Amino acid sequence: MSSQTILVVDDDPQIRDVLGMALERAGFDAVMARDGAEGLAQARTINPSLAVLDIGLPEMDGLELCKAIRKESDLPILFLTARDDEVDRILGLELGGDDYVTKPFSPRELVARVRAILKRTGGAASASEKKETGELRIGRLSLLPESHVCKVDESHVTLTSTELTILSKLMSRPTQVFSRPALVDAIWGPGMVVSDRTLDSHLRNLRSKLADAGCTDAIETLHGVGLRMGPCLGS
């Protein structure tokens, strides 16, 4: 039975009740917050394994809350969004969110997304997966997946859990070209529906962070084929 704590921040009491029951039935401890200020205080106090944030919160909305959390930690974040808020969904990922679920949603789908994110962060990794946690190094880039440490030379690069997983998958097989569907399956799991825009947002953020640290050639795109690691030498 899992003892991981999931923080749910939503101003709708019915959604809080539904999510609380679904998460606790799945073996998680669920802690609720009604607004952004309370959510930020809870995130600082209880050190949750993951936060579920409604974007449409009053006063401090979910995007502002995400920015506030990202200033202090790399806590995995799953957004709840309205079905037609594509701009907010993409912005949420660019601000450091790991994934999103659109309303109305299936509690089972949300729990599956939570499990997938926690698996990527190592919280639910199997023994065989944990064997692949040694240092990965290509050119000037080094990565310690288990410690969540990424460096270009001696400069630390702060990554979200999803960005770290993408980079780890590519670095662990540096000569392999990953098709987009294969990369999605490797990161989110087979059968998980993830839009191209979601993957593109994570890749864009990852490339930007590595480029800012001096590694502009970390990820190569082979048009019509897929993605692979670059030499990680340039600046």
pLDDT along the chain (235 residues), means of 10: 82 94 94 95 94 92 94 92 76 88 90 89 45 78 91 92 91 91 84 82 93 93 92 78
The predicted structure's pLDDT at residue 235: 59
Task: State how far Cα 132 lies from the chain centre.
Answer: 19
The predicted structure's pLDDT at residue 127: 35
**Residues forming CATH 1.10.10.10 domain(s) in the chain:** 127-229
The predicted structure's pLDDT at residue 83: 64
Percent of the chain with pLDDT over 70: 92
What is the value of pTM for the model shown? Answer: 0.72
CATH assignment, 127-229: 1.10.10.10
The predicted structure's pLDDT at residue 140: 94
The predicted structure's pLDDT at residue 205: 92
- Residue 217 in tokens: 């050639």
Q: Which CATH superfamily is domain 5-121 in?
A: Response regulator (3.40.50.2300)
The predicted structure's pLDDT at residue 195: 80
